[in-house]
Structure 1
């Protein structure tokens, strides 16, 4: 995850030449998202 000047966290997703997607996550949801990512990462 990255953090911009506006204190928004984002995920940048690009798969096999397809469309590029950015997901913006409010700061208050960052810890919840991080727990979900940690749970599912190999």
Structure 2
């Protein structure tokens, strides 16, 4: 899930803390297309 607040986006780390999952899990979900804007998360992952 991406939280869109204007130009600011929740970082991958914050997502991991919010959902209690690892960044690897988030990366996998991004690759599966679960997130609507994967490129923003991918940039945070790198």
User: Which structure's residues are more often helix, by fraction?
Assistant: 2
User: Which structure's residues are more often strand, by fraction?
Assistant: 1
* TM-score (normalised: structure 1): 0.35
* TM-score (normalised: structure 2): 0.33
* The structure with more radius of gyration: 1
